[in-house]
Amino acid sequence: MKEKINKVISKFSDLRKNNEKALITYVVAGYPDIDTSRLIIENLIEHGADIVEVGIPFSDPMADGPIIQKAFAHALEKNVTPDDCLKMINLIKSKYSQVPILVMTYSNIIFSRKDAKFLKTAVSCGVDGLIVPDLTFEEAENYLKVAEDLNLATVFLAAPNTDSKRLAKITSISTGFVYMVSVYGITGSRNQFEKYTFDSIRRTLTTTSKLGKPLAVGFGISSAQDAAKMIEAGADGIIIGSSLTKIVSDFSDDKSQMLKSLGAFIEQMKRVCKITN
């Protein structure tokens, strides 16, 4: 399979030239409302986010912990639709065309509409790639074809218990990066990461680097110390999701304080991503 260069992969190579790691931020679209989530994303970009993941709410997010579950439920109560989320991405893209934006959502949102309608709309709104946490490569044949036609970057997930055979397959079909799930578990912060997390990052890297694909680590990273440890283990990028969502939730009555806190948090993370070796 010959691969066209997509925005996600070129972002990683730009960062690598500057000896930087990718700071990837995950934001739930429509939480606390569509306009505010757009401001949140623009604010994160201004403070140093390299790549943005936009979570499109789904009624039953099986890989997500309580923080993101609540944010999804809140957005759905306000009738936020996938189209609203894609339109929001379109607005952000008109200002920040150079920042890769990936959609992260569950299979049913993407596949329950016929003829790849969701994917086509996503591309027309400027989406650069997709992450589907409940899609395994066995079930991805059609999706990969459409994604290739639309030049959408694909990101598949690898877990601590993924064997090297599966990992090779996952890496080869991920045209954006490989998303390493740091732990046995769902999204949300951990008090502490165990040794197996770092062992699995190192093990996964031997495959991803051989195949020339970036490896970003996510699930439960809530502090600069956590991020530094992932980077030390060799990650090409770190993904921050629930801890950002928690800040949004904690400051839901005070938007300016919310944006300030998010900015400060992301700048801290950014510093970690810049200090390498």
Partner 1 sequence: MKTKSVPGKFGIYGGRYVPETLVPALEELEKSYMKLKKDKNFQKELSYLLKNFAGRPTELYFAANFTKKLNGPKIFLKREDLLHSGAHKINNTLGQALIAVKMGKTRIIAETGAGQHGVATAIACAVFGLKSEIYMGAKDVERQQLNVFRMEIMNSVVHAVESGSKTLKDAINEALRDWIANVNDTHYLIGSVMGPHPFPTMVRDFQSVIGKEIKKQMYVLTKGLPDAVIACVGGGSNAIGTFHPFIEYKDVKLIGVEAGGKGVNTEYHAATISKGRTGIFHGMQSYFLQDNNGQIREAHSISAGLDYPGIGPEHAHLHDTKRAFYPRVTDKEAIKGFLELSKTEGIIPALESSHAIAYLMKNANDFKKDDNVVITVSGRGDKDLQIIQKFIKETSFS
Catalytic residues: 53, 64
Instruction: Pull the structure tokens for residue 181.
Output: 């799930």
By CB under 8 A, tell whether 112 contacts partner 1: yes
**Among 181, 217, 233, 272, which residue interacts with partner 1 (rule: CB under 8 A)?**
181
Question: Please, which residues bridge with residue 129 across strands?
Answer: 102, 153
**Among 16, 87, 113, 120, which residue interacts with partner 1 (rule: CB under 8 A)?**
113
Only segment of 35-43, 45-53, 160-168, 255-263 that touches partner 1 (CB under 8 A): 160-168
**Among 9, 158, 221, 247, which residue interacts with partner 1 (rule: CB under 8 A)?**
158
Least distance from partner 1 to the Cβ atom of residue 139, Å? 5
Residue 45: C-alpha distances to residues 8, 249, 264 (Å): 15, 19, 12
By CB under 8 A, tell whether 133 contacts partner 1: yes
**Among 15, 135, 147, 259, which residue interacts with partner 1 (rule: CB under 8 A)?**
135
Euclidean distance between CA atoms 19 and 65, whole angstroms: 33
Closer to partner 1 by CB, 66 or 212: give it.
66
Spatial contact of 217 and 239, defined as CB atoms under 8 Å apart: yes
Q: What are phi and psi of 26, to 5 degrees?
A: -110, 130
Closer to partner 1 by CB, 43 or 121: give it.
121
Report the 10 Å Cβ neighbour count for 192: 7
Cα 222 from chain centroid (whole Å): 15
Residues of span 58-97 touching partner 1 by CB under 8 A:
58-63, 65-66, 69, 73, 76, 81-83
Query: Residue 269: which of 10, 22, 54 has the closest Cα?
Result: 22
By CB under 8 A, tell whether 211 contacts partner 1: no
Cα 72 from chain centroid (whole Å): 16
Strand duo 237-240 + 51-55: pairing: unpaired
By CB under 8 A, tell whether 108 contacts partner 1: yes
Size of the residue set binding partner 1 (CB under 8 A): 42
How is residue 223 annotated by DSSP? S
Residues of span 136-155 touching partner 1 by CB under 8 A:
136, 138-139
Q: Which residues bind partner 1 (CB under 8 A)?
A: 58-63, 65-66, 69, 73, 76, 81-83, 106-113, 133-136, 138-139, 156-163, 166, 170, 181, 184-186
